[in-house]
Amino acid sequence: MAKEILLTGDRPTGKLHIGHYIGSLKNRVKLQNSGQYDSYIMIADTQALTDNARNPEKIRQSLIEVALDYLAVGIDPEKATIFVQSQIPALFELTAYYMDLVTVARLERNPTVKTEIKQKDFKDSIPIGFLNYPVSQAADITAFKATLIPVGDDQEPMLEQTREIVRTFNRVYQSNVLVEPKGYFAPAGSGRLPGLDGNAKMSKSLGNAIYLADDAKTVTQKVMSMYTDPKHIHVSDPGQVAGNTVFTYLDIFAPDKAKVAELKAQYQAGGLGDVQLKRYLNEVLEAELAPIRERRERYAKHPDEVYEILQAGSARANRVAAKTLAEVRDAIGLNYFNN
């Protein structure tokens, strides 16, 4: 039985944080190690340029950081193909063909795109590349005939746009070359982490994240600054668990669920201070992050080896994407000289 093909990845705009880890990276390692999937993991540098075109150095420097984070969490280049988007020429040609099958109005209606345009405050100065990135994403997915795409709920509209392009292409050119992908949604409890400040989203731009590359001292400092219950002033005061960021993190990271339940009861009754609670969370996070940090440091000492992994993965991805591109050209009828 053929393996399902997974495609996933990240934009290289900086180091990855523990929100990425719990939301997607940990799940990718699990899927990779299951032996049921042929995994492709893309570092989407071209997509990152859609809103960083005037700062390409940021993307170049972040490329190695993201690769280090992948390897540190356990992405295995012997089991998964890690590749760089810009090094796969077929993706750009596929994007050009798909652009002719999608209207501007349809792209503007994409809920995910609309939300991100608002977040980035483009107003009337939306880069064409940014508006078009659902089409580019369709090229990324279909180039590898990916059947499963690990995504969050907010990315489902992007996936539906890919399915529309696949159906339109196959109908217009009377082919079955392209494959419709399905979403693979992370298990409950592995969703988005709130920021350290209690903000609903952990992000680089808000400065409220713990990074996989942070040393132990930095993690401790960040944990001790975390948002809890602003009305919990004295140790003896009853505290709120709901909306308390420390407890949100403990629910996700702490292996001893019975202890977390006891801490919640004690906190709500009064008698448990925020400092003591944060110290326990720090121990929990250190147990999780220390092995990742150690692996990252080992790989960081040998950047040439990391680039070799990316080059080898990109070469393999290139062969697969080029084969799909040849089939797409044949379906359209652009095989003038292949008689």
Closest among 194, 289, 276 to 243, alpha carbons compared: 194
Q: Where are the beta strands (DSSP E) in the chain?
A: 4-10, 37-43, 80-84, 148-151, 182-185
Tell me: the pLDDT tens digits for 234-293? Answer: 999 999 999 999 999 999 999 999 999 999 999 999 999 999 999 999 999 999 999 999
Q: Give the pLDDT mean for 92-111.
A: 94
55 and 159 share one domain: yes
DSSP string, 248-271: HHHHHH-S-HHHHHHHHHHHHHS-
C-alpha torsion sign, points 199, 218, 61, 302: negative
101 and 173 share one domain: yes
Tell me: the pLDDT tens digits for 122-147? Answer: 877 888 888 898 999 999 999 999 99
d(CA 150, CA 148): 7
89 and 120 share one domain: yes
| Residues contacting residue 156 through CB under 8 Å, at least 6 positions apart | 183
pLDDT at 1 over 60: no
Predicted confidence at residue 317, as pLDDT, reads 98
Predicted confidence at residue 141, as pLDDT, reads 97
43 and 73 share one domain: yes
Predicted confidence at residue 201, as pLDDT, reads 80
39 and 140 share one domain: yes
The reported pTM is 0.91
3-state helix, strand, coil in the chain (%, to 5): 55, 10, 35
Tell me: the pLDDT tens digits for 276-313? Answer: 999 999 999 999 999 999 999 999 999 999 999 999 99
With H, G, I as helix, E, B as strand and everything else as coil, classify residue 41.
strand
**Residue 29 covered by a domain:** yes
How would you class 201 by CB atoms within 10 Å of its CB: exposed for 0-12, middle for 13-18, buried for 19 or more?
middle
Q: Give the pLDDT mean for 34-56.
A: 93
Which long-range CB contacts under 8 A does 116-125 form with residues at least 24 apart? Answer: 120/51
326 and 178 share one domain: yes
CATH number of the domain within which 222 lies: 1.10.240.10
The phi and psi torsions of 162 (rounded to 5 degrees) equal -65, -45
Predicted confidence at residue 200, as pLDDT, reads 75
Domain coverage including residue 261: 216-297
Structure tokens at 144: 């590898």
Angle (nearest 5°) at CA 17 between 13 and 20: 90
Question: 87-96, 99-108, 179-188, 204-213: lowest mean pLDDT where?
Answer: 179-188
pLDDT band at 214 (very low <50, low <70, confident <90, very high): very high
Look at the chain and report how many structural domains it folds into. 2
8 and 109 share one domain: yes
pLDDT at 191 over 70: no
311 and 279 share one domain: no
Predicted confidence at residue 164, as pLDDT, reads 96
Are 183 and 151 contacting, i.e. CB atoms less than 8 angstroms apart? yes
d(CA 335, CA 317): 23
pLDDT at 189 over 70: no
50 and 103 share one domain: yes
pLDDT band at 48 (very low <50, low <70, confident <90, very high): very high
DSSP 8-state secondary structure symbol assigned to residue 45? H
172 and 307 share one domain: yes
Are 27 and 59 contacting, i.e. CB atoms less than 8 angstroms apart? no
DSSP 8-state secondary structure symbol assigned to residue 23? I
308 and 277 share one domain: no
